[in-house]
Amino acid sequence: MSEQTESRFVYTIHSSIDASQREDYQNIQERMNCAAQAFNGYLGQDVVYENSGTGSELNVTTHVRFEELEQCLLWLDSSQRRELLNQAEKLIGYQYRFRLDSNSFDQWIQAKGTSRTPIWKVNLLVWLALYPSVMLLMWLGGSTLGKLSLPLNMLISNLITVLLTGYLLVPWLSRLYSNWLSTASRRWTLVGCSTIVVAQGLLLMLFSAFPGFPWNTTRP
């Protein structure tokens, strides 16, 4: 099963209609299908009709498939779908009722959870965030933290850098590199790694050449 298949979102709807309304309901579903085809990520729908065992009522299960959850939500909240639902209520009447299967979202979350980000990629982002954080803290805190004893200086400095990287820089880099974190392509993985190495190289050149940093002070 491909990664794309695993990430598909299936929106399941359970409806109840009278058997005499089946043809009208099928027409509505066909119009829904045609309208949904104009939306990105739409993969089609399956409709299953079953006797409820109580009179002439039919239980209808509809599976609407999209590549991504966000694409499905755009369709569900679209003016086109709302207009078709309004027409369905007028055509079928108030006996047209449905409920969402909560497993739709549960299965989506589970499918997403099976795709784990390689830990080495996360470590690279931490490295990219940590290096400038430590260097800048050494510069900005030279007149304050630098006056403390080394053990206390390191204790406070580590706390500041952990908070800065954990709550600000790493989340920001994770969003920036979101496609790289999830890709299985060797080409794009290499491209992402290259940008991190280049960024670190530029930071190294900046910190080495920029005047005013404490490590650039000329010693007698």
Domain span at residue 157 reads 119-216
| Residues 130 and 58 both lie in one domain | no
Exposure string over 116-133, b if 16+ CB within 10 A, otherwise e:
eeeeebeebbeebbbbbb
The reported pLDDT for the residue numbered 220 is 46
| Residues 75 and 107 both lie in one domain | yes
From CA 170, how far away is CA 164, in angstroms rounded? Answer: 8
Q: Calculate ∠ Cα 11-29-60, nearest 5°.
A: 65
Q: What is the domain count for the chain?
A: 2
From CA 191, how far away is CA 132, in angstroms rounded? Answer: 21
Q: Where are the beta strands (DSSP E) in the chain?
A: 9-18, 42-51, 57-66, 97-100
Residue 94: how many CB atoms within 10 A of its CB? 6
| Residues 22 and 98 both lie in one domain | yes
Q: Calculate ∠ Cα 12-15-16, nearest 5°.
A: 160
| Residues 161 and 85 both lie in one domain | no
Instruction: Please identify, among 78, 113, 148, the residue that sits at the C-terminal boundary of a domain.
Output: 113
Q: Are 16 and 56 in contact (CB under 8 A)?
A: no
| Residues 182 and 94 both lie in one domain | no
Task: Give SS3 for 214.
Answer: helix
**pLDDT tens series, the chain, 220 aa:** 223 344 578 888 888 888 888 898 899 899 999 999 999 999 999 999 998 777 788 888 888 999 887 888 889 889 898 888 888 877 776 444 555 555 555 555 555 555 567 889 989 999 999 888 888 888 777 667 766 776 777 787 778 888 888 888 888 998 899 889 888 888 999 999 999 999 999 998 888 886 665 555 554 4
| Residues 148 and 79 both lie in one domain | no
